[in-house]
Chain A
Amino acid sequence: MSIVQEIKTINDVKVVVLEGEVDTKTASSVTDAILPLIESGSKIILDMTGVAYMSSAGIRVLKVVHQKTVAQESKLVLVGLSEDIEDTMSITGFLNFFVTTKTLEEGLEALAS
């Protein structure tokens, strides 16, 4: 089951929009969609405004994506994390690996600089 609603490009940034829950069932759809997009110097936004819930496996999927961006010297921004998800990621120590913004506009701005 895929929760990748759409993938679009804005300027030089690839925006992946997710909708639904990120857990063991949907994890591979996320990595299948995003990992191929990560190349040297690329800029990626993961729009999570439509994500209501992330399980432990779901958070780890983000970490795997983050790791590839580090390896490829590319940049990643998470947009629109709900308060619950942001809390959970902070409490479990995952949040500080990521750059996060509330809106897509702010995310694009963060990558432009």
Chain B
Amino acid sequence: MPIERSDIHPTHKYGDFKMRCGKPFPFGTTLVPGGVNFSIFSSQATSCTLVLFQKHAKEPMAEIPFPDEFRIGNVYCMVVFDLESENIEYGYRMDGPNNFAQGHCFDKTKILLDPYAKMIGGRDIWGITPDWQDIYQHRARITFDDFDWENDTMLEIAPEDQIIYEMHVRSFTRDPSSGLKENYRGTFAGIREKIPYLKELGINAVELMPIYEFDEFENSRPNPETGETLLNYWGYSTVGFFAPKGGYAATGKFGMQVDELKALVKELHKNGMEVILDVVFNHTAEGNEKGPTISYRGIDNKTYYMLTPEGYYFNFSGTGNTLNCNNPVVRGMVLDCLRYWAAEYHIDGFRFDLAAILGRAPNGTPLANPPLLESLAFDPILAKCKLIAEAWDAGGLYQVGSFPAYGRWAEWNGKYRDTLRKFLKGESNVGEVAQRLQGSPDLYAPSGRVPATSINFITCHDGFTLMDLVSYNDKHNEANGENNNDGGNDNDSWNCGWEGQSDNPEIKALRHRQIKNAIAMLMVSQGVPMILMGDEGGRTKQGNNNTYCHDNKLNWLDWSLFKTNADLVKFVQNCIAFRKAHPVLRNPNHFQNRDYVGSGYPDISWHGTRAWYVDWSSSHTIAFLLCGKHAKQGQVEDNYIYVAMNMHWESKWFEIPGLPPDRKWHVFANTGAEPPEDSWVPGKEPSLENQAGLLLRDRSVVILVG
């Protein structure tokens, strides 16, 4: 018979409410016997009041000041008893100095959001115009943490075995063509309904663009051309780091987004797919001096933000403010946050937006040994999570290849993207291409980092889709209302002879072939491939390479594309299946460029139009041969694989290196062939007629297996 705790009865009263001193850990709210523990940090506040609302009410139902005896150091903590935790919303008022130059912005007229809020109300349903008179726009709520995971746990897929699919929650199923019930469209529940599609495609990791609470109405403004409202659609602007976005949940209107997201993760795991979250610790939704005070600014401005000596906000994120990540308290918050997602939501990995900021000191200087990055790399709870860095920021710090990795971090390899895009146009040097296809040892091997460090991608949410990469020479972002000044200009794209949509069958065929070339090369590269949602169907954004503000068909995935461009979908499926079938494409370590198992072939060898000879000055033709006996450093046996690439505008004859006498070459893929003969289901590949060589048509890729 368990003995009742002796510290579960109130000791204080305030009006109708009973309280006692709380515990400082964990920060945020915790359900305890009889009540709720509230805990919040502020190093400069002179007083703190807990403000309680009935859910959705305009005015607070109570404001309970923290007695001084409820403060431990810089932490205010209190247990409030007999609260109907699922029906209330809470916030804080803090008083303290208000001195801009010293970095203090206390304003006790504002109700502040708990940085550790696990659920946030106020934008419960996507796109419903907020009540701008509401004195408390983003309202913290209290959650249940008793989700039944049964036996679920993180999948711990080996990094080199991942195949990542970058997805925007709303875009994935919002369009009516998704065929889902209206209330499911554009939500976590919608993704769950489409798991069979993802499974058939074959990917094993879903990377979700920001899913924690953000304000879609931030910077909302009318589209100058159509009058429709442009929103903060992508969500790279955090309101609350610990709360999943209510507007992304079909059950958000009932406040059940926590369970809904957990149920999605559980189901993805059941189907062999990891979940990676795109996390945005580089800035918050509070903007610069002119931005709204939602949370941090009113709680401890100087701690949470990087400030200039005059008190202005450093802007290394390009969005107005920069989170002060290497301040020990903020570092603690980032760690708490990631541990929370890993432990409570079973998240398999994190991709850090503008991660170079995470390596800057409070005054902005790049650090050689950033404490935050080191803490993350060695954290016990995060030990098996993937950590992926977008290794640059908007302040000029470009760290691809030099990001402080501590042996754990992977990087979005921007050089892979640039090199492969140029190669598709026939403009790259094949020596550079060879490095990228091998997992970029030039960037990573000298510091002892493995191929899986390199997240290989040709497209992502930033920039053109794959179809647009081969349909437009220039960006067309007029719909964003910024005179086409926004979005990158260095797209390395080529429109195949016509700018924009075309009915010309030759141009369309070339575009499909180029898309297949891109996917084929991506899927046979060492490192980790990432594809953009919809690229497998030839999704277009009409040439807009920065659709951050569009809640419409420009962003919504059109599911009919998977029928229209079924040849592309099949090709991508087969390439993914091929990658999964062949461990020689997924080596945990770099190639040694020699024969160390005695097969008579080096682990990798390079060829050109002649076997065993490369013209390294070429921009158009290159091939490589992987010896199957060297797969996974000789630990497993695999087939031999030969990949030939011809990015010239003319056909080229490729002499194929010979196989050992007991093997024959079969054709897995030939992007130059007419579908459905452009690729085959792995294991069913037809024999190659002429084992000594074959003709690659202009701009095509051939993959042989033997």
Binding site for B on A (CB under 8 A): 23-25, 55-57, 59-60, 63, 87-88, 91-94, 97
CA A94 – CA B149 in complex, angstroms?
10
Assess the A87–B259 pair: CB atoms within 8 A: no
30 A-B pairs within 8 Å (CB atoms) are namely A23-B87, A24-B84, A24-B85, A24-B86, A24-B87, A25-B84, A55-B254, A56-B86, A56-B144, A56-B255, A57-B86, A59-B256, A60-B144, A60-B146, A63-B148, A87-B183, A88-B251, A88-B254, A88-B256, A91-B192, A91-B250, A91-B251, A91-B260, A91-B263, A92-B251, A92-B260, A93-B148, A93-B267, A94-B259, A97-B148
Binding site for A on B (CB under 8 A): 84-87, 144, 146-148, 183-184, 188-189, 192, 249-251, 254-256, 259-260, 262-263, 266-267
Shortest Cβ distance from B119 into A: residue: A56
Question: Residue A93 contacts which of B147, B249, B254 (CB distance < 8 angstroms)?
Answer: B147
Name the A residues within 8 Å of B256 (CB-CB). 56, 59, 88, 91-92
Please classify the interface of chain B as helix (H, G, I), strand (E, B), loop, or mixed, using the class held by over half of its residues: helix
CA A23 – CA B256 in complex, angstroms?
13
Name the B residues within 8 Å of A56 (CB-CB). 86, 144, 254-256, 259
Given known pairs A56-B255, A56-B259, A60-B144, the reply for A93 and B86 (CB within 8 Å) is no
Question: Residue B263 contacts which of A55, A60, A63, A93 (CB distance < 8 angstroms)?
Answer: A93
Name the B residues within 8 Å of A87 (CB-CB). 183, 250
Name the A residues within 8 Å of B184 (CB-CB). 91
Assess the B255–A91 pair: CB atoms within 8 A: no
Shortest Cβ distance from B87 into A: residue: A24
Shortest Cβ distance from B262 into A: residue: A93
Assess the B255–A92 pair: CB atoms within 8 A: no
Taking A55-B86, A88-B256 as known contacts, 15 extra A-B pairs with beta carbons closer than 8 A to each other, sorted by chain A number, are A23-B87, A24-B84, A24-B85, A24-B87, A56-B86, A56-B254, A57-B144, A59-B256, A60-B144, A87-B250, A93-B259, A93-B262, A93-B266, A94-B259, A97-B148
CA A55 – CA B254 in complex, angstroms?
7
CA A88 – CA B120 in complex, angstroms?
19
Name the B residues within 8 Å of A25 (CB-CB). 84
Least Cβ–Cβ distance between B109 and chain A, in angstroms: 32
CA A92 – CA B251 in complex, angstroms?
8
Shortest Cβ distance from B253 into A: residue: A88
Name the B residues within 8 Å of A55 (CB-CB). 86, 254-255
Shortest Cβ distance from A24 into B: residue: B84
Name the B residues within 8 Å of A88 (CB-CB). 251, 254, 256
Least Cβ–Cβ distance between A11 and chain B, in angstroms: 31
Name the B residues within 8 Å of A59 (CB-CB). 256
Interface centre among A25, A57, A97 (most CB of B within 10 A): A57
CA A92 – CA B260 in complex, angstroms?
4
Shortest Cβ distance from A53 into B: residue: B254
Question: Residue B189 contacts which of A60, A91, A94 (CB distance < 8 angstroms)?
Answer: A91
Shortest Cβ distance from A66 into B: residue: B148
Shortest Cβ distance from B184 into A: residue: A91
Assess the B259–A92 pair: CB atoms within 8 A: yes
Least Cβ–Cβ distance between B88 and chain A, in angstroms: 10
Assess the A92–B148 pair: CB atoms within 8 A: no
Interface pairs A-B: 9 shortest CB-CB: A93-B263, A92-B259, A91-B189, A24-B84, A57-B86, A92-B256, A56-B256, A91-B260, A92-B260
CA A59 – CA B148 in complex, angstroms?
12
Assess the A92–B263 pair: CB atoms within 8 A: yes
Least Cβ–Cβ distance between A75 and chain B, in angstroms: 19
Least Cβ–Cβ distance between A59 and chain B, in angstroms: 8
Least Cβ–Cβ distance between B83 and chain A, in angstroms: 10
Name the A residues within 8 Å of B192 (CB-CB). 91
